[in-house]
Structure 1
Amino acid sequence: MTFNELKLIPEILKALTKENYTTPTPIQEQSIPAVLAGKDLLGCAQTGTGKTAAFSLPVIQLLSQQPSKSGSHRRVRSLILTPTRELALQIAENIEAYSQFLSLRCTAIVGGVSQKAQEQALKQGADIVIATPGRLIDLINQKHIDLQHVQILVLDEADRMLDMGFIHDVKKIIAKMPSKRQTLFFSATMPPEIAQMVKTLLVNPVKVEITPVSSTAERIEQTVYLVDKENKQKQLNLLLQDPSIVSALVFTRTKHGADRVAKGLNKENITAQAIHGNKSQNSRQLSLSNFKSGATRVLVATDIAARGIDVDELSHVINFNLPNIPETYVHRIGRTGRAGLSGTAISFCEFEEIPYLKAIEKLIGKKIPEVKDHPYPMVNEFVPSKPVQPSRPVQSGAKQVRSAKPNPSSKAASATAVADAKPAKPKANPPRKPKSEWFQKKSKPSQ
């Protein structure tokens, strides 16, 4: 199938050709006709499946077919909610590319930067707004944006918004919109809270499910290194001495961990930058731009910050820390091997992460090959969570209790020694007086 067969207008087809889009992905094939028909959509798809174009292209076409107002009289007719700044800016960039031969205007509303420029953009008018929930709530409360004319609502990565605690903000935002609208809902996973939202928001939706989360792309080569926590940085430094690793996205569990790993790489003259929520928006955008251009070879990121990182020719994904949610592993490695290219996913697994590895293998339905021939094999052994306290040795100079029997190796002797070591029982209390005598005073004998 071609994009032309999806009945897209010439202006969009021209833009797609200019952006080197050739054939639609499965989610685009199934979603675009349904959205163009005005139906609600429930899309279950992981990252890298092409869902941004799946909802952006039909939204652009539907809005462009209506008479548009110029200048500040433009009303927000489509709202796209996303969990992170990077993803919002990525979607805005794509929409600008897809609509370059049309008169539509879009703007991104994100936190982490001054809102003055965003206020000005809204005053100038926007047909499509791509926003993160927190900043959008602020602008709604300050009456800088009106959502009463929204015709198409897109909720992208709804499960991630749930994880980040944005669901209540999302509900507040939805309450500001007309109840009669078209809603497009995308989520990689379907936890109970998300399933409940689907029931309340969508009306007879078309369901599109692409690449079940339990499956990973066959073209991605996966390996795992069993390595102790204190040796992970050394193993990563050694691994990245290989020049065939052109670009690598390294995942850490924490923000501080990302900074630490990037610093360790730079000490070895491996260009690396960290990207996470504690960085300013400008810093994050600069790091991402450097990574895309190749100026930075390694980008170290947390899962939250990695949303919106879209690099077509990413050769390697490295899990410095394994995720405790198996589906997250699938999303991570799905960032390589895109656009028909091959990719490599490498994971480091410390002893405490072995249960995570087992859960991942169960989810993907296969065992990840272990690389055993490396200089930092795991040596730590199992340590009980509540170690048994050893018996306290007799202190020097303390009086030792002699066993009643001369052979201390026998069980009887041990038992006798323990019995002898017990303190003597206190004397029994004297018998209690009857209650009738409790308050009787003894009379003193007469002199």
Structure 2
Amino acid sequence: MTEFEGIVPAIAQALAKRGYEALTPVQKAMLDPGLAGKDALVSAQTGSGKTVAFGLALAPSLLEGADRFGQAGTPLALAIAPTRELALQVQRELEWLYELTGATIASCVGGMDMRTEKRTLERGAHIVVGTPGRLCDHIRRNSLDISGLKAVVLDEADEMLDLGFREDLEFILETAPAERRTLMFSATVPRSIAKLAENYQRDAVRIATASEAKQHVDIDYRALTVVPSDRENAIINVLRYYEAKNAIVFCSTRAAVNHLTARFNNRGFAVVALSGELSQSERTHALQAMRDGRARVCIATDVAARGIDLPGLELVVHADLPTNPETLLHRSGRTGRAGNKGVSALIVPLSARRRTERLLEAGRIRATWAKPPSADEVSQRDDERLLADPVFAAPIAEDEQSIVQQLLERHGAEQVAAAFLRQYRTGHSAPEELQDVPAEGERRKPRRDDFPVTHHDGPAAGRNDFTDGVWVSLSVGRKQNAEPRWLIPMLCRNGGLTKRDIGAIKMQPEETFVEFSQEGAERFLSAIGPDKTLERGIRVKPLAGVPDFSQAKREGTYGKKKPFADRDARPKDEGKPKWKSDRKPERAHAGEGSVSERSDKKPWAKKPGKPSFAKNDGSPKAGKPNSRAARKAAKSRGE
């Protein structure tokens, strides 16, 4: 019991009752006698037991030497968390930790009935746990009196700032008594957190129990490369291969959560969804279903990336890659907690390989690159689990003897075993057949000389046409600004090709024809999947034989106009007037009363009052007089 020395007796009993045998580093650090009564800025990796740590640290100052709390009144401590789930989890942790002290712990979180929370606060509470926005609402409405606070705890402080709660936090800290203890817990300590600590803590002790942004030693990171069209099938095989007691699949959007939830429900998985569009009641029920074992897979957005603690969570799957290393660490931190082992699997499309490498490097994470489990590997793993099932080691009970004997006599041992095997497999979703992904050596990072310099209407520079080339059509052409400089690297990247696999490229206005070697075409079509779609929504259509480029050019360039053949057959001068006078009738002034060739028009008579535009005899220039002297001379002549 040496681990629990220096802890309030009632708290120590609660730890022993919970099955604690040793404290985590952050919990030991918070029990340091030199930290008693002081402010602290603590950075510790996720899953390190921070809630119990600050519970242990607060107990002496809140109890003030007593074994139990007295009548509840205004709160003595306030714990602030960024999300509803984390706040409710903190409440549950503190409830069992302070169970024997008689503490009353209330929660104030968004999404819950505010009137119920107000009535709870009116009855009194020793500790209040809540989210920043809801706590501010209660303080402004005078339903939460924080004038008697002895301590304030900010859990996941960096996340609260990222979510835009700075103003709410500053309001709470400024409203709380100045003579209080302030504890800040954060996975990382960026400049914003350091500034917040400087403004609202007094001589805070800096505690770092683990290097910031460091991967959890109990998490096995695996990067699984897949063909883009096989992403969902790969997730199914990963879930089936590990058969984790609990698993979380992270998506980037709510729509993706809804899609995968429906897909996995249809495949027989016990699934729940967790996203921001759900009410607090629905989210609570979803997490409770995971804890009760009624569900084994949770499909979630990043709302579940922080603070969610699911006992026995053994597997985290990143269906959509996280946008930054911090999110990757917090997602993965849902597993490998409290000394347990876990797996964090990233589903990496071929086109996202380099981005994933940068993400892992930025997070200082070492991951094992591999292919997703194949259908055969999943089936083999099922057989291993079946043979190792403890059910075979249990002795036969007396009430089972009779029916066992009847089964063996009627059907025989082999038939009974086969029936058991079928029943076992019926309860598991069948694995998926995945397309083959090029090996690392074949799918190396393309070099500059892998991308041939290609003319629009010729083969790749430096090589001859293939004698057995296979042609495909791409749904992009000159009108879509298609250029070999980005088109060829895209083909190599998506299909695992090099310049030796690409032959001639014929670019048309609306489509592009590309020639591949026989082996390259097979690898390319296999890599892009059955939907045959590349980046930018470019569709691929395999062709039988060599395309008719002239026909494609006519159809693609001129659309609904007459084909070249009809246009070329017409004489150039047929139907086209050669001179302007051939197109319009001559507007000649043949004399007074004369008319043009178009008899339906009035004669081109000279209008009165207008000077004639015919040449004026004796004038310096033809046409209308353009000088004062010329106008005077014309006036003197009576013109």
TM-score with structure 1 setting the length: 0.83
Letter in 2 for 1:148: S
Question: For the residues of structure 2 that align with 1:399 and 1:242, how far apart are their CA atoms?
Answer: 60
Letter in 2 for 1:196: K
CA–CA distance in structure 2, aligned partners of residues 146 and 443 of structure 1: 101
> C-alpha displacement at 1:377, in angstroms?
5.2
Query: What is the 5 A alignment of 1:11-26?
Result: 11-26=10-25
Q: 2:4 — aligned with what?
A: 4
Identity %: 31
> What SS does structure 2 have at the residue aligned with 1:123?
helix
Note the alpha carbon deviations across 1:34-84, whole angstroms, 9 max, x for none.
586101111111210111111012213321126798556x11111111001
Q: 1:328 aligns to what?
A: 327
Structure 1 position 243, deviation (Å): 6.1
Q: What is aligned with 1:206? A: 205
Q: Give the Cα–Cα distance (whole angstroms) in 2 for the partners of residues 212 and 259 of structure 1.
A: 37
Residue matched to 2:607: none
Map residues 299-314 of structure 1 onto 2, 5 A cutoff.
Answer: 299-314=298-313
CA 333–440 in structure 1, closer or farther in 2 if over 3 Å, else same? farther
2:336 paired residue number: 337
Please state how far the C-alpha of 1:312 moved relative to its aligned partner.
3.1
Measure, in 2, the Cα distance between the counterparts of 1:108 and 1:319: 31
Larger CA deviation: 81-90 vs 225-234: 225-234
- Quick one: distance in 1 between partners of 2:130 and 2:368? 41
The Cα shift of 1:23 comes to: 0.7
Specify whether residues 443 and 35 from structure 1 end up closer, same or farther in structure 2 by C-alpha distance, changes over 3 A only: farther
Structure 1 residue 364, shift from structure 2 partner: 4.5
- Which residue does 1:109 correspond to in 2? 108
Report how far residue 251 of structure 1 moved: 1.1
Q: Tell me the equivalent position of 2:217.
A: 218
Q: Distance in 2 between matches of 1:54 and 1:191?
A: 22
Kept in 2: contact 1:277–1:305 (CA 8 A): no
- What SS does the aligned partner of 1:137 have? helix
- Whether 1:291 aligns to 2:290 is yes
In the alignment, which residue of structure 2 is the partner of 1:142? 141
Q: How does 1:386-397 map to 2 (within 5 A)?
A: 388=482, 392=509, 395=558
Residue segments in structure 2 that go unaligned for 5+ positions in a row: 375-433, 447-473, 484-506, 510-552, 566-625
| 2:129 aligned with 1:130 | yes
Q: What is the 5 A alignment of 1:33-72?
A: 33=32, 37-65=36-64, 71=71
The aligned counterpart of 1:227 is: 226
Q: Structure 1: how far apart are the matches of 2:229 and 2:133?
A: 38
Deviation at 1:213, TM superposition (A): 3.3
Secondary structure of the residue aligned to 2:313 is coil
Offset of 1:228 from its aligned partner?
A: 4.3
Compared with structure 1, are the counterparts of its residues 357 and 121 closer, same or farther at alpha carbon in structure 2 (3 Å cutoff)? same
**How many angstroms apart in 1 are the aligned matches of 2:14 and 2:135?**
29
Report what 2:367 is aligned to: 368
Alpha-carbon distance in structure 2 between the residues aligned to 1:90 and 1:18: 19
Could you give the per-residue CA deviations for residues 67-121 of structure 1, whole angstroms, max 9, x where no partner exists?
A: 798556x111111110011111111111111111112211111011211211111
1:391–1:135 CA distance, 2 compared to 1 (3 A): same
For 1:318-338, what per-residue CA distance to the aligned partner results, in whole angstroms no more than 9, with x for missing partners? 111121111221222222122
Distance verdict in 2 for CA 1:120–1:35, change over 3 Å: farther
Does the 8 Å contact 1:86/1:309 carry over to 2?
yes
Could you say which residue in structure 2 is the equivalent of 1:274?
273
Q: Name the CA shift for 1:268/1:63 in 2 (closer, same or farther; >3 Å).
A: same
Rounded to whole Å, the distance in 2 between the matches of 1:387 and 1:162 is 43
Matched to 2:167, the amino acid is H
Question: Could you say what secondary structure the match of 2:323 adopts?
Answer: coil
RMSD between aligned residues: 3.0
Q: How has the CA–CA distance of structure 1 residues 76 and 233 changed in structure 2, closer, same or farther, with 3 Å as cutoff?
A: same
In 2, are the aligned partners of 1:77 and 1:149 still within 8 Å (CA)? yes
1:317 paired residue number: 316
Task: Tell me the matched-pair count.
Answer: 406
| Greater mean alpha carbon deviation, residues 93-102 or residues 59-68 | 59-68
Name the aligned partner's letter for residue 298 of structure 1. V
Contact 2:246/2:296, CA 8 A, preserved across alignment: yes
Structure 2 residue identity aligned to 1:213: E
2:318 alignment partner AA? N
SS at 1:240's partner residue? helix
Letter in 1 for 2:307: G
Cα distance in 2 for partners of 1:363, 1:327 equals 9
Aligned residue for 1:140, secondary structure, equals helix
Q: Report how far residue 314 of structure 1 moved.
A: 1.1
- What are the residue-to-residue correspondences of 1:60-209 with 2, within 5 Å? 60-65=59-64, 71=71, 74-209=73-208
| Structure 2 Cα separation of the partners of residues 440 and 86 of structure 1 | 93
Q: AA paired with 1:57?
A: L
Q: How far apart, in 1, do the equivalents of 2:33 and 2:158 lie?
A: 22
Cα deviation code 1:198-233 (max 9, x no counterpart):
211222222111222342233322211222444322
- 1:228-259: CA deviation from partner (whole Å, max 9, x where unpaired): 44432222123323363332111111222222
The residue type equivalent to 2:93 in the other structure is N
Unaligned 5+ segments in structure 1 are 401-438
In structure 2, what is the Cα distance between the partners aligned to 1:357 and 1:440? 82
The answer (yes or no) to whether the contact 2:306–2:331 under 8 Å persists in 1 is no
Q: Are the structure 2 counterparts of residues 288 and 370 from structure 1 closer, same or farther at C-alpha, using a change threshold of 3 Å?
A: same
Contact between 1:214 and 1:327, CA under 8 Å: does it hold in 2?
Answer: yes
Cα distance change, pair 225–149 in 1 and its aligned pair in 2 (3 A):
same
1:248 corresponds to: 247
Q: CA deviation at 1:163?
A: 1.6
Counterpart in the other structure of 1:258: 257
Give me the whole-angstrom Cα distance separating, in 2, the residues matched to 1:310 and 1:297: 14
2 CA distance for matches of 1:230 and 1:115? 46
Shift of 1:397: 5.1
Larger Rg: 2
Amino acid at match of 2:226: V
Larger CA deviation: 150-159 vs 336-345: 336-345
Relative to structure 1, the CA distance from residue 46 to residue 35 in structure 2 (aligned partners, 3 Å threshold; closer, same or farther) is farther
Aligned residue runs from structure 1 range 412-423, under 5 A: none
Q: Is this contact kept in 2: 1:158–1:186, CA < 8 A?
A: yes
Which one scores higher on RCO, CA 8 angstroms, separation ≥ 6?
1
Residue identity matched to 2:102: S
- SS of aligned partner of 2:143: coil
Q: Letter of the aligned partner of 1:192 in structure 2?
A: R
Cα distance in 1 between the residues matched to 2:160 and 2:21? 32
